């Protein structure tokens, strides 16, 4: 079964869609008998380059044209190069030559796929064969498709042949990337640029084919197909072919097959951008991605829509809106009032960059998400509120932990720390009283009024001033590890020597790594260890090692436990015991002293 785009391939110059200038020029050459020995057809895919080459091959070999004046083949060969006293024009599509060329069985028309025959050996073979006269027709036609795929050596070998071929040979090179052809090749060819077909032209073709195939199609559906085809005749017919099994084709069917969004989705998304609604804009992109729609096409449509908004702001309201309905133009005018020219320029630039980067990312929606975030920066006030809320909650947790560790500290409703022996407020209480400004500055002070070693939201921010320890009684003095989770971390300290001993019996190297770290937080299940070197952290986080540590500590304290390792902030000085552990081995008898020093920091 023949697919529709091949069944309805143009067979005459008048059938070409959107290429009126090319067809008119070539027809004029044929009618005058002054056509070239080599042509270059270039332009986007699906615009009719190869079809035009075949039509030209039929026109110069048609048995119904020029036969009365040309006479024998001998007269052709003896005639002046490429100037024949014959009338050519549209092929008849009825003679044996035309029918054979349409079927691809004509011996004097050779189509060469340059992607498969791109080497110098194939070109040398071609140079040998072109010397032979045509078998059936007047001219031997060589159609080289995807000509930009030829190698540099192949082009060099073809130079002289293109410049002075035999009188009975016509070369037609077709390519989508003319920039890849050497300038020396291009200069020897007559160039014809094939442009994208207009939307109206494609709609007429679709409706004509639908009528021939007895398929009903809505006008809006045909327009949607033409829009998605992006000026490609072949793509438009291919989309229609996918829907040809239905008796009635509507717009929703086209959207479903093409996997692209419609006007409502585009306008709604731009409305979110106009309102600076970051959340809804991102959700729209995620929905498009989850629905399996074409992200690259969506980005391109956004650029085109924003371009129309820019035209409206500038005052251009003529031919640029022919493809839009009256309601859509009115909606665009309303949207344009919500933007200024600079913001539209910025938006176009961001989405052009995003569209070009879609192919570079494994998740194609990511460039669009980043573009939206650049255009709509997050609200700093909202971020501050969220941050303050997290900081406020962390401070409350820390204070409650202190109260549990020492009964001499009371937590009031105003979050002040009341000490029996020292009524002076701590920096945390003072910051709370200072309001939002002081809350944000909390990350700049510690219990000594100096810069902290980590964020308040970090579990490592549970260390307290040593001066507070004197307020907690003799028990606090006896244990220098009384922190926000003091009682729980104290249990780890008591068993640390035993833990290291058991780890050493399993893996002595891991003990050395543990000596270069220290526990900083324990919530009853998760034990957070501070590591001062990235290599140590990566080694300790290996699944085999961390599983061993979890099992040994669980065996010691008789409770499930999970080790977590965090990297110390840059500039943070390791305690003396940690420094020593990096350069020397420590005897087992000194392990207790080591543990005491690590936990006291």
CATH code assigned at 358: 1.20.272.10
Q: Do 38 and 143 touch, CB atoms closer than 8 A?
A: no
Domain check: are 183 and 329 in the same one? no
Query: Model confidence at 227, in pLDDT bands (50, 70, 90)?
Result: confident
For residue 251, pLDDT beyond 80 = yes
What is the pLDDT averaged over residues 577-599? 52
Domain check: are 179 and 68 in the same one? yes
397 or 360: which carries more pLDDT confidence? 360
Query: Model confidence at 191, in pLDDT bands (50, 70, 90)?
Result: very high
Last residue of a domain, one of 348, 375, 402: 375
The number of folded domains in the chain is: 5
In CATH, what number is assigned to the domain containing residue 170?
3.40.50.300
Helix (H) / strand (E) containing 464: none
pLDDT tens digits, one per residue of 485-494:
456 778 888 8
pLDDT tens digits, one per residue of 100-139:
999 888 999 999 888 888 788 888 888 888 888 888 888 9
pLDDT value at residue 58: 92
Domain check: are 50 and 172 in the same one? yes
Q: Do 527 and 564 touch, CB atoms closer than 8 A?
A: yes
Which residues pair with residue 112 across a beta bridge? 144
Residue 429 lies in a domain: yes
Domain check: are 41 and 133 in the same one? yes
CA atoms within 13 A on the CB side of 160: 7
Helix (H) / strand (E) containing 528: strand 526-531
Token pair for residue 373? 């975030």
Token pair for residue 377? 């920066």
Mean of pLDDT over the chain: 75
Question: What's the per-residue H, E or C state across 59-96?
Answer: HHHCCCCCHHHHCCHHHHHHCCCCCCCCCCCCCCCCCH
For residue 416, pLDDT beyond 50 = no
Report residue 141 CA to chain centroid gap.
43
Last residue of a domain, one of 147, 164, 193: 193
Residue 449 lies in a domain: yes
pLDDT tens digits, one per residue of 333-379:
888 888 999 999 999 999 999 988 888 888 888 999 999 999 987 66
Distance CA(17)–CA(48), nearest Å, equals: 8
Distance CA(178)–CA(148), nearest Å, equals: 7
| DSSP category for residue 451 | -
Concatenate the DSSP letters of all residues of 6-31 into one string: HHT---SGGG-SS-HHHHHHHHHHHH
Distance CA(146)–CA(286), nearest Å, equals: 37
Query: Model confidence at 601, in pLDDT bands (50, 70, 90)?
Result: very low
Domain check: are 509 and 589 in the same one? yes
pLDDT value at residue 100: 92
pLDDT value at residue 460: 38
Residue 351 lies in a domain: yes
| DSSP category for residue 377 | P
Domain check: are 31 and 125 in the same one? yes
Query: Model confidence at 172, in pLDDT bands (50, 70, 90)?
Result: very high
pLDDT value at residue 224: 84
Token pair for residue 32? 């005058």
In CATH, what number is assigned to the domain containing residue 241?
1.10.8
Q: Do 240 and 209 touch, CB atoms closer than 8 A?
A: yes
Distance set, CA 137 to CA 67, 73, 473 (Å): 11, 9, 112
No. of helices (H) and no. of strands (E), the chain: 31, 12
Give the chain's end-to-end CA distance (angstroms, integer). 82
pLDDT value at residue 446: 42
pLDDT value at residue 315: 84
Alpha helices, DSSP H, located in 113-262: 120-129, 152-163, 183-186, 199-212, 219-229, 233-242, 251-258
Closest to 162 (Cα-Cα) out of 184, 147, 139: 184
- Report the percent of the chain where pLDDT is more than 90: 16
Distance CA(220)–CA(553), nearest Å, equals: 70
Whole-structure pTM value: 0.52
Query: Model confidence at 498, in pLDDT bands (50, 70, 90)?
Result: confident
Helix (H) / strand (E) containing 142: strand 140-145
Q: Do 151 and 118 touch, CB atoms closer than 8 A?
A: yes
Distance set, CA 267 to CA 67, 317, 484 (Å): 60, 19, 53
Residue 121 lies in a domain: yes
Domain check: are 72 and 174 in the same one? yes
Residue 481 lies in a domain: no
For residue 320, pLDDT beyond 80 = no
- For 380-478, where are the E strands, in sequence order? 410-411, 417-418
Give the other-Cβ count within 10 Å of 161's Cβ: 18
Which residues pair with residue 111 across a beta bridge? 143
Closest to 287 (Cα-Cα) out of 200, 365, 173, 395: 365
Closest to 309 (Cα-Cα) out of 293, 292, 328: 328
Residue 168 lies in a domain: yes
pLDDT value at residue 409: 39
Closest to 98 (Cα-Cα) out of 71, 69, 61, 136: 61
Question: Which range is most confident: 20-29, 124-133, 462-471?
Answer: 20-29
Distance set, CA 272 to CA 111, 275, 283, 336, 377 (Å): 51, 5, 10, 13, 13
Distance CA(303)–CA(300), nearest Å, equals: 5
- Report the percent of the chain where pLDDT is more than 70: 71
Residue 350 lies in a domain: yes
Distance set, CA 311 to CA 48, 316, 336, 457, 508 (Å): 31, 5, 9, 49, 73
Domain check: are 279 and 298 in the same one? yes
In CATH, what number is assigned to the domain containing residue 543?
3.30.300.180
pLDDT value at residue 157: 87
- Domain residues for 218? 199-256
Burial of 501 (C-beta count, 10 Å sphere; 0-12/13-18/19+): middle
Contacts 24+ apart (CB under 8 A), 376-380: 376/273, 376/276, 376/277, 376/278, 376/281, 378/278
Distance CA(41)–CA(21), nearest Å, equals: 13
Domain check: are 528 and 574 in the same one? yes
Residue 97 lies in a domain: yes
pLDDT value at residue 431: 39
Last residue of a domain, one of 471, 505, 530: 471
For residue 158, pLDDT beyond 50 = yes
What is the pLDDT averaged over residues 184-203? 89
Token pair for residue 461? 């921010």
Q: Do 69 and 85 touch, CB atoms closer than 8 A?
A: yes
pLDDT value at residue 532: 82
CB contact set of 303 (below 8 Å; sequence gap of 6+): 348, 351, 352, 355
Domain check: are 588 and 492 in the same one? yes
- For 351-507, where are the E strands, in sequence order? 410-411, 417-418
Domain check: are 283 and 218 in the same one? no
Query: For the chain, what is the radius of gyration of the CA atoms?
Result: 39
Domain check: are 320 and 357 in the same one? yes
Query: Model confidence at 415, in pLDDT bands (50, 70, 90)?
Result: very low
Q: Do 142 and 134 touch, CB atoms closer than 8 A?
A: no
Q: At what angle do helices 380-405 and 486-494 cross, to 10 degrees?
A: 60
For residue 499, pLDDT beyond 60 = yes
Question: Which range is most confident: 65-74, 181-190, 528-537?
Answer: 181-190
């Amino acid at each position: 079964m023949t697919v529709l785009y091949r069944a309805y391939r143009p067979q005459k110059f008048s059938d070409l869609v959107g290429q009126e200038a090319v067809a008119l020029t070539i027809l004029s050459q044929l009618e005058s008998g002054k056509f070239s020995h080599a042509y270059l057809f270039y332009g986007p895919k699906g615009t009719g380059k190869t079809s035009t080459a075949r039509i030209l091959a039929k026109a110069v070999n048609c048995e119904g044209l020029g036969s009365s004046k040309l006479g024998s083949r001998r007269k052709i060969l003896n005639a002046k190069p490429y100037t024949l006293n014959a009338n050519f024009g549209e092929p008849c599509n009825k003679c044996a030559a035309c029918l054979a060329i349409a079927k691809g069985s004509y011996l004097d028309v050779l189509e060469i796929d340059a992607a498969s025959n791109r080497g110098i050996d194939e070109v040398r073979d071609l140079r040998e064969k072109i010397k032979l006269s045509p078998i059936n027709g007047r001219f031997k036609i060589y159609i080289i498709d995807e000509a930009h795929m030829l190698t540099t050596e192949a082009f060099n070998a073809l130079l002289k042949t293109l410049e002075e071929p035999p009188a009975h040979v016509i070369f037609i090179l077709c390519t989508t990337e003319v920039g890849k052809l050497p300038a020396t090749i291009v200069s020897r060819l007559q160039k014809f640029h094939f442009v994208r077909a207009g939307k109206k032209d494609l709609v007429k073709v679709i409706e004509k084919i639908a009528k021939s195939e007895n398929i009903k199609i809505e006008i809006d559906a045909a327009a949607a197909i033409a829009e998605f085809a992006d000026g490609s005749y072949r793509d438009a017919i291919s989309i229609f072919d996918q829907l040809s099994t239905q008796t009635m084709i509507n717009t929703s069917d086209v959207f479903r097959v093409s996997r692209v969004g419609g006007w409502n989705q585009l306008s709604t998304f731009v409305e979110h951008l106009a309102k600076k609604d970051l959340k809804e804009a991102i959700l729209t992109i995620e929905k498009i991605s989850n629905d399996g729609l074409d992200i690259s096409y969506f980005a391109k449509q956004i650029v085109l829509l924003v371009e129309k908004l820019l035209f409206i702001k500038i005052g251009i309201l003529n031919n640029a809106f022919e493809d839009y309905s009256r309601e859509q133009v009115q909606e665009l005018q309303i949207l344009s009032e919500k933007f200024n020219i600079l913001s539209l320029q910025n938006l176009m630039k961001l989405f052009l960059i995003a569209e070009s980067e879609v192919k570079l990312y494994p998740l194609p929606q990511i460039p669009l998400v980043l573009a939206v975030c650049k255009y709509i920066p997050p609200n700093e006030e909202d971020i501050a509120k969220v941050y303050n809320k997290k900081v406020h909650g962390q401070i409350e947790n820390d204070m409650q932990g202190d109260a549990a560790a020492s009964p001499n500290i009371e937590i009031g409703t105003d979050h002040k720390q009341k000490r029996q022996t020292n009524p002076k407020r701590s920096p945390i209480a003072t910051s709370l009283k200072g309001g939002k400004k002081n809350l944000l500055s909390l990350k700049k002070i510690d219990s000594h009024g100096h810069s902290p070693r980590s964020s308040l939201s970090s579990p490592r921010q549970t260390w307290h001033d040593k001066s507070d320890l004197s307020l907690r009684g003799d028990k606090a003095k006896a244990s220098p590890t009384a922190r926000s989770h003091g009682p729980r971390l104290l249990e780890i300290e008591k068993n640390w020597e035993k833990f290291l001993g058991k780890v050493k019996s399993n893996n002595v190297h891991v003990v050395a790594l543990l000596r270069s770290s220290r526990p900083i937080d324990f919530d009853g299940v998760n034990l957070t260890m501070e590591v001062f070197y990235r290599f140590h952290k990566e080694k300790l986080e290996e699944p085999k090692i961390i599983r061993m540590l979890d099992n040994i500590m669980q065996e010691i304290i008789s409770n499930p436990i999970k080790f977590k390792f965090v990297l110390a902030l840059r500039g943070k000085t390791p305690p003396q015991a940690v420094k020593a552990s990096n350069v020397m081995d420590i005897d087992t008898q000194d392990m207790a002293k080591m543990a005491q020093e690590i936990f006291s920091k």
